[in-house]
């Protein structure tokens, strides 16, 4: 007989403890022990507790391979249903044999109801590194169980595939919000809804009476950035700056040749360019930039309060003044088809004509951002990455451890974008080079994003270097290749033109790929999500819908027509409420680089994690130092604000 010491750690979250009975079976190379109860006098497994138990093995099972955990409700629990369903969050087990060093078995899972769970000793291993048949079998069984639990479905034709569940309440407990996060989210949404309801704004279907009346809602949970937006939203420099550091900083690109369907002339822009230069000269110097919302052409629009809404597909030409001056708009065309009914609006036009043209561009930014930059790139694709990880990588794998248009219009826009989506657009350094915006001043999304990308890339490179000694070791990891292949087929719909790899051949390719996944699910999401409320709290800066069609001539806009073009009162409030909720992390935060679930137990990856955290801390200090000198600080890529993954 051999005596083992078993140490058990229970999570600290609300409801993490359990009244259920827990036992373990120790699996070795020579057999498996019977169930060994973990029992003390009184209640075990309280939240936050670490407890020791002594268990006796009746016979030797050989070197330890696995730990089988059994959870059963106590006797008579059939009379008390909550006890029978009592969930338990186990952090880890530590098994100390009579002789030798202890084994750590990371768990970090909820166990709900009666059942068993098989845990491996915590050393990370790729598929080709497992040699014992029992360990190989365990990997296969874990993945088979997960593939049955997490299945794909096509939500809409042409969209990335997603998890086949009907509602959030049907999700497995291990991928739901924590109880604290869930409660905080609904409390926040409830209080905000009541506030709007009391003000009588949610039931008003008509237009706003004036810009002054809109100030009533502007007092709703306003932020310093929202106040800055309110004060500067009509200014050309602020309008242009939002293409760099607003909620959609991914569309602006350098323009060396004007599109044929955007016939801007020297006479139109001479007042902004000044004497001694021309459009062609500025194009050759690289000081002109283009934002093209052409993908919105002829998109289906929504119906709000019984009224059809309208959209535009504008093109905006911008000018970077020499000497580091502000980026300024030169010209705006509200359609992709030039002609008498599609004038080119200019800063020299009547005030309300120019303001209305800029507001149509901001509405296009809202539609493009919410459907593509936010929903597609920052939610639908991360869901593909996550679901493929759950289905193809077991817990012991090192990558698992580090890891106004209406619905119809949104769906159509996503289908169009999926046909154009390419790998380089998801890799920030390449995206910056492709758009030609490496040196435009004041582009803090680029500056901070490249710092974060570099830190993630170095971290990933160190982890990959630990577990993959050669390119051949990447090619031979069947689980890794299945993961990449499933992302290609389910997320990018087998489109070879996307440039997304369907397999990986080298360590360098693996580093790039994993960096892209981590950056997309963390920093990119923060950059395009955290500022939504800041941009929309003053609705004219980012109108979610437009009730009148785009102007087809100049000198027609008035203060009244401007107000009547903006969304109605109730639609404004609905969107502001939603974006306020989506911009705020609902508690229980896990910033980038923070890993409370300690899946890695080896010293080398732990050192890499510590180094990664130090790099992020230095980036944060640099960002905060720079922001002290800015009238509008750019905070959305400050590492403490970035969540480890998409969490809202």
477 is in an annotated binding site: no
Rounded CA-CA distance 40/3 in Å is: 16
The DSSP output letter for 565 is H
Residue 473: both structure tokens together = 């070791």
Nearest Cα neighbor of 500 from 530, 490, 599, 241 is 490
466 is in an annotated binding site: no
Residue 474: both structure tokens together = 């990447």
Percent helix, percent strand, percent coil in the chain, to nearest 5:
45, 15, 40
Q: Are 20 and 46 in contact (CB under 8 A)?
A: no
Q: Are 591 and 639 in contact (CB under 8 A)?
A: yes
Q: CA angle at residue 150 from 146 to 154, to 5 degrees?
A: 150
170 is in an annotated binding site: no
Q: CA angle at residue 237 from 234 to 243, to 5 degrees?
A: 100
- Tokens 């008003």 correspond to what residue? 204
Cβ atoms within 10 Å of 308's Cβ, excluding its own: 10
Residue 116: both structure tokens together = 């068993």
39 is in an annotated binding site: yes
379 is in an annotated binding site: yes
Instruction: Give strand pairing partners of 328.
Output: 319
Rounded CA-CA distance 560/209 in Å is: 9
87 is in an annotated binding site: yes
Instruction: Give strand pairing partners of 570.
Output: none
648 is in an annotated binding site: yes
374 is in an annotated binding site: yes
300 is in an annotated binding site: no
Q: Count H helices, E strands: the chain?
A: 23, 18
Cβ atoms within 10 Å of 476's Cβ, excluding its own: 15
Between helix 381-392 and helix 133-149 the angle, nearest 10°, is: 140
Query: H or E segment at 108?
Result: strand 103-111
Contacts of 183 (CB under 8 A, 6+ apart): none
Output the known binding site.
15, 17, 39, 86-87, 374, 379, 525, 648
Output the known binding site for Fe cation.
374, 379, 525, 648
Output the known binding site for Ca(2+).
15, 17, 39, 86-87
């Amino acid at each position: 007989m051999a005596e083992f010491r078993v140490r058990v750690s229970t999570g600290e979250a609300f409801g993490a403890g359990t009244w259920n009975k827990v036992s373990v079976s120790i699996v070795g190379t020579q057999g498996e022990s019977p169930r060994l109860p973990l029992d003390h006098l009184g209640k075990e497994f309280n939240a936050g507790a670490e407890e020791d138990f002594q268990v006796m093995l009746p016979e030797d099972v050989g070197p330890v391979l696995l730990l089988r955990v059994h959870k059963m409700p106590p006797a008579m629990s059939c009379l008390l249903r909550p006890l029978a369903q009592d969930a338990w969050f186990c952090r880890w087990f530590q098994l100390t044999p009579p002789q030798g060093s202890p084994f750590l078995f990371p768990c970090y899972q909820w166990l709900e109801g009666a059942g068993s769970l098989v845990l491996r000793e915590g050393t990370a291993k790729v598929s080709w590194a497992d040699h014992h048949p029992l360990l190989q079998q365990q990997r296969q069984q874990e993945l088979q169980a997960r593939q049955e639990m997490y299945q794909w479905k096509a939500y809409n034709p042409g969209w990335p595939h997603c998890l086949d569940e009907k509602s959030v309440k049907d999700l497995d407990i291990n991928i739901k919000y924590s109880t604290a996060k869930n409660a905080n989210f609904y409390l926040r949404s409830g209080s905000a809804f009541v506030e709007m309801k009391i003000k009588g704004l949610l039931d008003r279907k008509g237009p706003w009476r004036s810009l002054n009346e809109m100030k009533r809602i502007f007092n709703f949970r306003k932020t310093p950035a929202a106040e800055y937006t309110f004060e500067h939203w009509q200014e050309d420099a602020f309008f242009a700056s939002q293409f760099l550091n607003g909620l959609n900083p991914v569309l602006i690109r350098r323009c060396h040749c004007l599109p044929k369907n955007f016939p801007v002339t020297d006479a139109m822009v001479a007042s902004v360019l000044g004497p001694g230069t021309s459009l062609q000269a500025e194009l050759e110097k690289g000081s002109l930039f283009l934002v093209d919302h052409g993908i919105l052409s002829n998109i289906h629009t929504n119906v709000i309060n019984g009224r059809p809404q309208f959209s535009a597909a504008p093109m905006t030409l911008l000018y970077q003044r020499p000497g580091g001056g502000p980026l300024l708009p030169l010209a705006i065309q509200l359609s992709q088809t030039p002609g008498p009914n599609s004038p080119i609006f200019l800063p020299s036009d009547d005030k309300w004509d120019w303001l209305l043209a800029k507001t149509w561009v901001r509405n296009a930014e809202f539609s493009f951002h919410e459907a593509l930059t936010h929903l597609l790139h920052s939610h639908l694709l991360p869901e593909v990455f996550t679901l493929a990880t759950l289905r193809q990588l077991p817990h012991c794998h090192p990558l698992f451890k580090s890891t106004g248009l209406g619905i119809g219009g949104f769906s159509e826009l996503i289908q169009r974008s999926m046909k154009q989506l390419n790998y380089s657009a998801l890799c920030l350094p390449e995206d910056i080079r492709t758009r030609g915006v490496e040196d435009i001043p004041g582009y803090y999304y680029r500056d901070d994003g490249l710092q974060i990308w570099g830190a993630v890339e170095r971290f990933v490179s160190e982890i990959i270097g630990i577990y993959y000694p050669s390119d051949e070791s990447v090619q031979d990891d069947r689980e890794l290749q299945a993961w990449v292949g499933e992302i290609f087929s389910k997320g990018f719909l087998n489109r070879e033109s996307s440039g997304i790899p369907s397999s990986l051949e080298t360590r360098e390719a693996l580093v790039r790929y994993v960096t892209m996944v981590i950056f997309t699910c963390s920093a990119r999401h923060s950059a395009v999500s955290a500022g939504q409320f800041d941009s929309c709290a003053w609705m004219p800066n980012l109108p979610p819908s437009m009730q009148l069609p785009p102007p087809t001539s100049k000198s027609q806009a008035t203060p009244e027509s401007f107000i009547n073009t903006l969304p109605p009162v109730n639609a404004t409030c609905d969107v502001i409420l939603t974006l306020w909720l989506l911009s705020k992390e609902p508690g229980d935060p896990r910033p980038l680089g923070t890993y409370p679930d300690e899946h890695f137990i080896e010293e080398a990856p732990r050192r890499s994690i510590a180094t990664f955290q130090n790099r992020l801390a230095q980036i944060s200090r640099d960002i905060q130092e720079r922001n002290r000198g800015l009238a509008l600080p750019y905070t959305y890529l400050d590492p403490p604000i970035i969540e480890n993954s998409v969490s809202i």
